[in-house]
Structure 1
Amino acid sequence: MAKLQKSIDKRNALVKATIELVNNNGFHATPMSKIAKMAKVSPATIYLYFQNKQDLVNQTYIEVKAKYTDYAFETYDENTSVELGFEVIWKRIADFKLKDPENSMFLAQCDNTPMIDEPSRQEGIKHLQPLLDLWNRGKSEGIIKPMSDYILYAYAINPLSFLVISQKRGVFTLDKTHIEEAYQSAWNSIKVCK
């Protein structure tokens, strides 16, 4: 049992080191040797858990995406109205990004790099299914604009990454008023104007 826990701890240390190094240095300036050193394991140990750097980054991305979406949908009830459902999900996403900026920054980097392979991206999108289902219901009810889910995500969710990164850099502080303003802007960007 202790051996299994030690193995889990090593793998978790590798994932944590990957996130930190990618956030600070980018994907290409994060060699396996640095990841191993930061995780306090030998470079050969990485290959017990991951096939290569691509596999390490892809698996880390999927794990972080799962953590993010589990948090985002934890209090969401699919039987609520489209508007209330979106508000609950959006505010949980904002809360996650503010409470866990390291994982949020890592996901933002993954969204903007070719480093994540397409199968891993598709796996990450599956984790967003409750939001996509909500948007589809909203489109069919004439509440959400009939646009691509990618465009909806770009206008309604991605701006949060910019705001969180701005806060991390110390140039902007997201207080309750800003969160509410950002939510209203997100909702207004995707709802059908009547």
Structure 2
Amino acid sequence: MAKGEETRQFIIEKATPIFNTKGIATTSMSDIMEATKLSKGSMYVHFENKEVLACLAVDHNMKKLGDKLVSEISKSKTAKEELFTYIDFFSNAVNPPLTGGCPLLNFGTEADDTNPIVKEKINKGCNANQQLLANSVNKGIANGEFKPNWNADEFAVIMFAMMEGGHLISRMSGNNDKMKIIAKTLKNIIEENSL
């Protein structure tokens, strides 16, 4: 990797948790300069403006989260384990897998009315998560783990929405009590549809 590309990647990596914690609108280039110890001139050599950097930080956050999730799920031996792993992975909203919490929730809430580029990135991330869950259900149906009439797409929407909503209320309350209820409910639904 060339020196310029290394610096660019370094800036993205340092900016990512700041954007995820503070949001795009309230993160300033000064915040990024402080984290990287680089000058304003150096920042603008690598990024045209804050919005360009923010979009790259969104991509980096989602890739980092996705890589961690897929790494955990890949250890599962069954489709049911995959679904349980997904639930467990996101169940500690007070101490989430990424600094600042779930980037889909954080950036999606901020960008829905203000940033169509980030909105589309988050929408794709939401759809990808739901597809991942539906794929696990369909795999389990094909393997004879789950009831053949279980609607994978509908359950994927329900599970994703419950986990994201649980993340929100847990972060707001500062504890995981509600997320524990959601995790237990989802696992019960999975058990009810298991053979």
Asked whether the two chains share a fold, i.e. TM above 0.5, the reply is: yes
Name the amino acid aligned to 1:184.
K
Q: Distance in 2 between matches of 1:117 and 1:103?
A: 17
Could you tell me which residue of structure 1 aligns to residue 27 of structure 2?
30
Instruction: Output one character per residue of 1:95-116: Cα deviation in whole Å (capped at 9) or x when no partner.
Output: 5872545242544311212235
Indicate if the aligned counterparts of 1:13 and 1:39 stay in contact, CA closer than 8 A.
yes
Q: Distance in 2 between matches of 1:36 and 1:16?
A: 9
Question: Which residue of 126, 140, 147 maps to 2:154?
Answer: 147
TM-score under structure 2 length normalisation: 0.66
Indicate if the aligned counterparts of 2:93 and 2:170 stay in contact, CA closer than 8 A.
no
CA deviation after TM superposition for structure 1 residue 87, in Å = 0.4
Q: Does 1:39 align with 2:36?
A: yes
Instruction: Output one character per residue of 1:60-101: Cα deviation in whole Å (capped at 9) or x when no partner.
Output: 112111211222222325985443321012212335872545
Q: Distance in 1 between matches of 2:179 and 2:186?
A: 10
Secondary structure of the structure 1 residue equivalent to 2:25: coil
Q: Distance in 2 between matches of 1:72 and 1:96?
A: 14
**Long gaps (5+) in structure 1:** none
- Percent identity for Structure 1 against Structure 2: 17
**Long gaps (5+) in structure 2:** 143-147
Q: Distance in 2 between matches of 1:193 and 1:52?
A: 50
How many residue pairs match? The answer is: 184
Instruction: Output one character per residue of 1:142-172: Cα deviation in whole Å (capped at 9) or x when no partner.
Output: 33465285454112444134324533xxxx2
Q: Distance in 2 between matches of 1:23 and 1:97?
A: 13
Q: 1:101 to 1:75 in 2, by over 3 A?
A: closer
Q: Distance in 2 between matches of 1:143 and 1:185?
A: 16
Q: 1:139 to 1:22 in 2, by over 3 A?
A: same
Indicate if the aligned counterparts of 2:79 and 2:139 stay in contact, CA closer than 8 A.
yes
Q: Distance in 1 between matches of 2:12 and 2:110?
A: 20
| RMSD value, Cα | 4.0
Q: Distance in 2 between matches of 1:151 and 1:51?
A: 40
Q: Distance in 2 between matches of 1:120 and 1:100?
A: 20
Could you tell me which residue of structure 1 aligns to residue 132 of structure 2?
130
TM-score under structure 1 length normalisation: 0.66
Could you tell me which residue of structure 2 aligns to residue 87 of structure 1?
84
Could you tell me which residue of structure 2 aligns to residue 166 of structure 1?
173
| Structure 1, 125-134 or 102-111: larger mean CA deviation | 125-134
Q: Does 1:54 align with 2:51?
A: yes
| Structure 1, 135-144 or 38-47: larger mean CA deviation | 135-144
Q: 1:7 to 1:78 in 2, by over 3 A?
A: closer
Q: Does 1:182 align with 2:177?
A: no
